[in-house]
């Protein structure tokens, strides 16, 4: 089947098998290997991306279902070398260790903040419940999301994915 | 060029590694795509024990994109036996361990056939079309049954299900008294049997391997903790010359011991790639990972603690059954031995005996999982100390304090003959009890008991230590382990003043690039940002023993320090030459050689440039500052701490809620507090998960019923509390940085703290034990059983 999908701002048209999962389309056809696969049962959330501005587990979406849609991955949220505030907060709060769950965790956190720009600790924990991390015990992830919420006020979500230079983000790599 | 003046060690540096990981610029093994690369899929046994009577591959072979199908018979001449590097006794029984099953299968999930195809989807389709006939054999699952005479056998050729019996007796070793005498003389005996359930390491990145057989060397990318050990073991297993193999561990998504392995999948991928002369990739599904990747724990601990009525422990006897699973993997038989010297923990027990029986079953092989042996030991003794306190009507902290090694008694030789170099249990405990409000919670607990509140409060203590930084080579040798415990480092000063640090210890989330940069910045006085840490590739980092057992900082970073000292020593004569002074007149500090008593100075970076140009060096000098060092630790490191857990138990539903968790860990000198806290958080999560949630369950046919994350309860953010972490710093005296390991501490300490809290909450109802994981059902049943017993079965 022929699909046309816009991923991280670039439009692609491809022939795909109907059974091809969106995550495999992203990784194997488009080389978007920042998005990863962690389980077979949609429990871990490592493959979380945004489909038309909302988080989905891309292992549970067929590529053909994304026909005509706009997909944003972890590789598409920084702008002109400036990190998204959630990326920045994950770095600043040591919210990752091995980093394998991180792309999905960040994409889910952005979606969470779009729904609720001012979540408390319990709301954050429930908001990222579908994303598993084996390294951090979640403590610093929760802290990072809380800090990102403060930095991003007011509002986030699809708008936050289109942040421009005016947002006070900084680049990573040392303090 | 500037030199840093303030000390890097101790700074909460944000991690260098993050920049790539938070933007998706990652290099996981499964990301690698090579020209002409082919894909593998594996057909696995659905049964736990059977003879393979027929494998029909015809349908699979004719499917689209399929290049070849192999069974164990096809690879039998090449695959050798998967290595076990730890023969714990001279007569240890070790069955052949084929990568691809030949003749029989011994656990559900064992690889039976493999498909090579153009795409991963095509390979998976064909693997599902392979038709295997099995003649099922009796399944051995229960250890006590397995060791009885006449039991069904996992490996009939061995004549027994017992792999080995290993013992330590302080009386015989001359390191303590006779435990049988202590038991005979005891005023109080506490006898308990605890079960360490089977766990899944559950690293987030499934294991993946890519082998490129083109070029002079075979290159293997693997999601492994042990690129160096893997290279050597592949050579020994497959008979390929070691120098013809290059192993790369690129970005590795967690390990926790689960990637401390030489896997069937690595061997299979290697052999198929070699046969076809093309790059081949295999990436496991999560279910394959949980079925075939090794498991952890799975012990039955029979414990006898002898004590006086004043709470002084006089002896401890430990009799273990340890489940090996179906085969001995890399260090399977040694895992219980790593705990053998830790049951005495922080205490001054005068007599101790440990006997471990290693047992084969038709289950996935076990091996290292975070803590490996030490969580089991810590759980046992910390639970026993609570039971002793209860028996004597003493406060559980008071019982511990009566027995623990006092600060002024260090260095202390334990009943196992091991020397604890340093520790301060009093300080960690004082700080923890203050942060926790120990007295306040005890008061609340008393009130809730008085009012028969349906939600009861319990307080759990774990005053733990562990031995890590594995290990002095000589000690490993005495335990008959197959390798040493040294680590290697090399440092290169580049002409522009930048520094490359090569380490043999390869990170998979621990932040070596950041921490090693801090260590080197202090040693050489160069900026943190100017240091690049190189690891995880046997070509660029040719020597190393890799990452496990909380050894990276205590062994690997000390090698880095030693290499840096050699760089400075090499630079000194060049600096003296450039500054036209005697070497003995030079001071080196903050990256600068200064002529003593003057302002005349040169930086080590300037010296590096002068050495590079080599225009003006002393006669005959070798123009290089490059240095390397191999460091063998003189002792283990012994981090310790006091962990306190307050748990609310709903006596009507059995639900457990952790209300607060406070831990004060002493890991010696802290290089990066941010990373240390992160290690503790993650460790706690895994230890708490053992107490409350996780268990690998086999049904009566040997099928693993928890082979997905839908069935194996890996805790999510809502399942865990927020932790309060504190620290005391008692530097290690056995290494120049004063550091102790931190990677496993949280996991080792937390499990008994949680279970002690739960039991404490309901002990007044007659409960003295709850089997892990303490699910609501188990807690509720324990309360019901106790209540039935106290009411004489009236309920």
Taking CB atoms and an 8 Å limit, are B710 and A91 in contact across chains? Answer: no
pLDDT on residue B471 = 85
ipTM above 0.85, yes or no: yes
Phi, psi of A95 (to 5 degrees): -90, 15
pLDDT tens digits, residue range B143-176? 999 999 999 999 999 999 999 999 999 999 999 9
CB distance B717 to B344 below 8 Å: no
- Other beta carbons within 10 Å of B652: 10
Residues with Cβ < 8 Å from B330, sequence gap 6 or more?
B83, B84, B85, B86, B229, B233, B260, B261, B262, B367
- Secondary structure tally for chain A: helices H, strands E: 5, 5
| Run of H or E including B563 | helix B557-579
Distance CA B643, CA B128 (A): 49
Q: Which residues of A touch B710 (CB under 8 A)?
A: 41, 43
CB contact under 8 A, A102 and B674: no
CA distances from B705 to B136, B210, B289, B368, B702 (A): 19, 30, 14, 22, 9
Residue-by-residue DSSP string for A18-50: TT-BHHHIIIIIS--TTS----SSS-S-TTEEE
The pLDDT, as a whole number, for residue B786 is 95
Chain A residues whose CB is inside 8 A of the B13 CB are 175
Those of residues 33-62 in A touching chain B at CB distance below 8 A are 33-41, 43-44, 46
Q: pLDDT (tens digit, 9 = 90+) per residue, A96-150?
A: 999 999 999 999 999 999 999 999 999 999 999 999 999 999 999 999 999 999 9
Residues A49-98: tens digit of each pLDDT: 999 999 999 999 999 999 999 999 999 999 888 999 999 999 999 999 99
> For residue A158, what pLDDT is reported?
53
Interface of A with B in 65-104 (CB under 8 A): 73-75, 78, 83, 87, 90-92, 94, 96-103
CA distances from B766 to A12, B197, B218, B449, B787 (A): 67, 24, 62, 13, 7
DSSP B279-346: -EEEE--HHHHHHHS-BEEEEEEEEEEEE-TTS-EEEEEEEEEEEEESS--SSGGGHHHHHHTTTTTT
Grouping H, G, I as helix, E, B as strand and the rest as coil, residue B114 is strand
d(CA A143, CA A147): 6
Cβ–Cβ contact A19 with B under 8 A: yes
Which regions in chain B score pLDDT beneath 50?
Answer: 1-4, 793-795
A102-115 vs A139-152: helix crossing angle, rounded to 10: 50
Say whether B474 sits in a helix, a strand or coil: helix
Backbone angles phi, psi at A21, to 5 degrees: -75, 150
Q: How far apart are CA B752 and CA B303, in angstroms?
A: 15
- Report yes or no: A17 at the B interface, CB cutoff 8 Å: yes
Going by pLDDT thresholds of 50, 70 and 90, the confidence category of residue A161 is low
Q: How far is A118 from A90, CA to CA, in rounded Å?
A: 17
> What was the pLDDT predicted at B212?
98
Residues of B in contact with A16 (CB under 8 A): none
- Identify from A132, A139, A140, A143 which residue to disrupt to test chain B contact, counting B C-beta atoms within 10 A and taking the largest count: A139
The distance of Cα B208 from the centroid of its chain, to the nearest Å, equals 20
Which residues of chain B have a CB within 8 Å of the CB of A134? 202-204, 254, 256, 682, 685-686, 714
Confidence at residue B791, expressed as pLDDT on a 0 to 100 scale: 78
Any residues with CB less than 8 A from the CB of B166 and at least 6 apart, and which? B88, B89, B336, B337, B340, B355, B356, B358
Global pTM reads: 0.96
CA distances from B570 to A13, B397, B591, B607 (A): 60, 53, 14, 10
CB contacts < 8 A (A, B): 184
Of A27, A133, A139, the CB nearest to B723: A139
Search chain A and give the residue with CA nearest B205.
Answer: A38
Distance (Å) from the alpha carbon of B59 to chain A's nearest alpha carbon: 21
Tell me the CA distances in angstroms from B585 to B523, B576, B650, one per residue in order. 20, 8, 72
Residue from A37, A98, A101, A136 to probe the interface with B (highest B Cβ count within 10 Å)? A98
In chain A, which among 114-143 make CB contacts under 8 A with chain B? 121, 124-126, 128-142
Report, in this order, helix, strand and coil percent for chain B, each rounded to 5.
35, 25, 40
- Of B229, B225, B737, B249, which Cα lies nearest the Cα of B515? B737
Return d(Cα B463, Cα B748) in angstroms, integer. 10
Nearest CA in chain A to B207: A38
Distance of CA B592 to the CA centre of its chain: 40
B541 to chain A, minimum CA–CA distance in Å? 20
The partner residues of A51 in beta bridges, in order of sequence, read: A54, A71
CA distance from start to end of chain B: 81
Q: Which residue in chain B is spatially nearest to A46 when comparing CA positions?
A: B204
Cα B366 from Cα B370, distance rounded (Å): 12
Residue B211 CA to residue B270 CA, distance in Å, equals 6
Quote the minimal CA–CA distance from B282 to chain A in Å.
Answer: 14
């Amino acid at each position: 089947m022929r699909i046309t999908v816009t991923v991280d701002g670039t439009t692609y048209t491809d022939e795909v098998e109907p059974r091809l999962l969106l995550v495999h389309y992203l990784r194997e056809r488009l080389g978007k290997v920042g998005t990863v696969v962690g389980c077979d049962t949609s429990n871990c959330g490592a493959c979380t991306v945004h489909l038309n501005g909302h988080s989905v587990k891309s292992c549970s979406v067929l590529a053909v279902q994304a026909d005509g849609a706009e997909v944003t991955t972890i590789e598409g949220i920084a702008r002109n070398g400036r990190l998204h505030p959630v990326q920045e907060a994950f770095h600043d709060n040591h919210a990752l260790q091995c980093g394998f769950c991180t792309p999905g965790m960040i994409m889910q956190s952005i979606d969470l903040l779009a729904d609720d720009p001012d979540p408390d600790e319990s709301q954050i924990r429930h908001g990222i419940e579908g994303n598993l991390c084996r390294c951090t015990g979640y403590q610093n992830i929760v802290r990072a999301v809380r800090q990102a919420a403060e930095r991003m006020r007011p509002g986030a979500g699809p708008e936050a994915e289109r942040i421009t230079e005016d947002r006070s983000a900084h680049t990573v790599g040392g303090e | 060029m500037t030199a840093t003046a303030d000390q890097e060690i101790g700074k909460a540096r944000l991690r260098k590694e993050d920049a790539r990981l938070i933007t998706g610029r990652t290099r996981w093994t499964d990301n690698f795509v090579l020209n002409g690369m082919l894909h593998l899929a594996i057909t696995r046994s659905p049964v736990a024990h059977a003879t393979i009577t027929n494998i029909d591959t015809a349908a699979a072979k004719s499917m689209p994109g399929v290049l070849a199908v192999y069974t164990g018979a096809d690879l039998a001449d090449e695959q050798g036996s998967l290595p076990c590097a730890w023969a714990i006794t001279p007569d240890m029984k070790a069955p052949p361990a084929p990568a691809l099953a030949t003749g029989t299968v011994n656990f559900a999930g064992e690889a039976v056939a493999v498909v090579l195809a153009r795409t991963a989807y095509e390979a998976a389709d064909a693997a599902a079309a392979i038709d295997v006939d099995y003649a099922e054999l009796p399944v051995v699952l229960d250890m006590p049954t397995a060791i009885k005479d006449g039991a069904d056998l996992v490996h009939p050729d061995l004549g027994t299900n017992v792999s080995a019996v290993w013992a330590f007796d302080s009386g015989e070793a001359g390191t303590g008294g006779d435990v049988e005498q202590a038991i005979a003389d005891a005023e109080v005996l506490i006898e308990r049997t605890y079960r360490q359930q089977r766990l899944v390491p559950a690293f987030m990145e499934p294991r993946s391997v890519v082998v490129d057989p083109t070029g002079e060397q075979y290159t293997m990318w693997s999601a492994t903790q042990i690129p160096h050990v893997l290279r050597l073991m592949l050579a020994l297993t497959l008979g390929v010359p070691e120098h013809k193999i290059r192993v790369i561990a690129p970005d590795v998504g967690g390990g926790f011991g689960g990637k401390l392995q030489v896997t069937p999948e690595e061997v299979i991928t290697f052999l198929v790639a070699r046969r076809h002369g093309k790059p081949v990739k295999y990436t496991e599904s999560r279910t394959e990972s949980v079925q075939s990747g090794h498991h952890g724990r799975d012990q039955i601990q029979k414990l006898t603690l002898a004590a006086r009525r004043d709470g002084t422990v006089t002896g401890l006897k430990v009799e273990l059954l340890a489940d090996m699973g179906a085969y001995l993997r890399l260090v399977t038989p040694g895992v219980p031995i790593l705990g053998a010297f830790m049951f005495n923990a922080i205490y001054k027990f005068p007599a101790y005996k440990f006997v471990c029986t290693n047992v084969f079953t038709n289950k996935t092989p076990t091996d290292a999982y975070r803590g490996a042996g030490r969580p089991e030991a810590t759980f046992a003794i910390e639970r026993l100390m609570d039971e002793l306190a209860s028996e004597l009507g003493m406060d559980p902290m008071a019982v511990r304090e009566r027995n623990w090694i006092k600060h002024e008694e260090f260095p202390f030789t334990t009943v196992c003959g091991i020397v604890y170099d340093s520790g301060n249990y009093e300080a960690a405990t004082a700080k923890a009890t203050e942060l926790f409000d120990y007295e306040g919670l005890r008061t609340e607990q008393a009130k809730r008991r008085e009012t028969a509140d349906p939600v009861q409060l319990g307080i759990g203590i774990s005053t733990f230590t562990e031995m890590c930084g594995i290990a002095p080579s000589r000690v490993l040798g005495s335990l008959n382990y197959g390798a040493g415990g040294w680590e290697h480092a090399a440092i290169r000063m580049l002409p522009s003043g930048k520094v490359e640090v090569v380490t043999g210890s390869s990170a998979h989330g621990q932040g070596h690039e950041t921490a090693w940069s801090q260590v080197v910045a202090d040693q050489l006085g160069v900026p943190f940002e100017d240091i690049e840490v190189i690891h995880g590739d046997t070509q660029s980092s040719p020597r190393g023993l890799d990452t496990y057992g909380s050894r990276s900082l205590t062994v690997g970073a000390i090698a880095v320090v030693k290499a840096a000292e050699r760089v400075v020593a090499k630079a000194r004569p060049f600096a003296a030459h450039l500054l036209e002074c005697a070497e003995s007149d030079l001071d080196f500090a903050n990256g600068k050689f200064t002529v003593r008593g003057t302002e005349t100075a040169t930086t080590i970076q300037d010296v590096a440039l002068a050495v590079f140009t080599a225009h003006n060096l002393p006669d005959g000098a070798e123009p290089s500052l490059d240095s390397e060092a191999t460091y063998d630790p003189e002792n283990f490191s012994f981090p310790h701490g006091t962990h306190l857990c307050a748990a609310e138990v709903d006596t009507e539903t059995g639900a457990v809620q952790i209300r607060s968790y406070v831990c004060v860990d002493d890991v010696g000198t802290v290089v990066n507090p941010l990373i240390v806290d992160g290690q503790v958080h993650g460790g706690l999560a895994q230890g708490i998960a053992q107490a409350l949630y996780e268990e690998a369950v086999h049904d009566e046919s040997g099928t693993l019923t928890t082979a997905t994350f839908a069935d194996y309860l890996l805790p999510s953010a809502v399942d865990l509390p927020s932790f309060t972490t504190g620290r005391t710093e008692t530097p290690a005296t056995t290494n120049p940085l004063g550091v102790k390991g931190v990677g496993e501490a949280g996991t080792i300490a937390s499990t008994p703290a949680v279970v002690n809290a739960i039991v404490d909450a309901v002990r007044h109802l007659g409960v003295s034990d709850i089997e892990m994981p303490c699910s609501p059902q188990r807690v509720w049943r324990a309360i019901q059983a106790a209540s039935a017993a106290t009411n004489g079965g009236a309920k």
